[in-house]
Amino acid sequence: MDFQHRAFSSCMGGFYERLIPLVKRSMKKTIGRRLLTVVQLQTLVKEIESVLNSRPLVYVGDDINSNIPLTPANFLTNNPKKIGILETEIVADSDYLPVESTEEKLIELWKNGQRLLDIFWKVWKHEYLLSLRERTQTVLKTGRIQANYQPKTGDIVLIKDDTSRGNWKFGKVTQLIDSRDNKIRSAEVLTPAGNETGRPLNILYPLEVSE
C-alpha cells in the first residue's frame, strides 16, 4: 500500500523491513473483527499514515530546548504538525434515540474512527519503541532479542509516557546513575520544559536515526 512506502521512506536497511510487519500487526490488533466499510478503512489508513509520519527520526542540535525533531512528515509536507483529525474527549450518551438522524450518524462514525486511531496509537507506539531498543541489541536469547540499550550522557532520547496521539516526549541525558550493585539502571534526564528528573533506563529509547 502507498502509505507504507511514504511512511517508511526515511528508514534504512533491515529496520525499514521490520517496520512494515510491525505496522501490519498493529493494524490487525486495532481493527480485530470489526467490519469496516471501504470508506472507513481508507480514512483509517490515511490517518494511520499521518501517525506513522509523525515519528521522530533525529533531533536537530544538542539543545533539548530547540524542540526540533525531524520526522518523515518534514520531507513530505510543508505542514508536518498537522496530524490527522483533531482529538476530543468522547463522552458516552446513555439517552435512548429511537430514530437516528444523519447528524448523529456522522458524529458516531467520527467517534468510532477516533477510538480506532487511539487504539492504533497505543499499540503502534509500544511496538515501535520496543523495535528501537531491540535494534541496538545483538545477543539473542530464547529466540527473542533482549533489550540492552544504555544511553550516553548528552544523548537525546525518547521517554515512554502517556502522550496524545502523534506526540512524543523527549529528554536529554545529563547523568547516568550507578545503583548499589554498581550497575547503571537509571539516568538524570532534562526535558524541554527545563525539568531534570531521574528516569529508569527501561523507559528511555534511542531515536530511529542515531550514531
135-175, pLDDT tens digit by residue? 655 433 444 444 456 788 999 999 998 888 888 998 999 99
Q: pLDDT exceeding 90 applies to what percent of the chain?
A: 18
Quick one: pLDDT at residue 131?
87
Domain definitions of the chain by residue range = 2-141, 149-205
pTM score: 0.69
Residue range 68-116, pLDDT digits in tens: 788 888 887 655 555 544 444 545 455 544 445 577 777 887 888 889 9
Contact assessment for residue 41 and residue 109, using Cβ atoms and an 8 Å cutoff: no
| Chain centroid to CA 137 | 20
Please say whether the dihedral angle defined by the alpha carbons of residues 194, 133, 45 and 161, taken in this order, is positive or negative.
negative
Instruction: Please tell me the predicted confidence (pLDDT) of residue 146.
Output: 44
Contact 56, 166 (CB under 8 A): no
Is 48 a residue whose pLDDT tops 80? yes
Question: What is the rounded average pLDDT of the residues 25-29?
Answer: 92
The predicted pLDDT at position 2 comes to 47
Residue with cell string 477510538: 115
pLDDT exceeds cutoff 50 at 43: yes
pLDDT of residue 100: 53
How high is the pLDDT of residue 123? 92
Tell me, what's the pLDDT at 180?
A: 81
What pLDDT score does 88 carry? Answer: 44
* CATH of region 149-205: 2.30.30.140
Angle of CA points 106, 43, 82, to nearest 5° = 100
Whether residue 19 contacts residue 11, with contact meaning beta carbons closer than 8 Å, is answered with yes
Query: In the prediction, which pLDDT does 75 show?
Result: 80
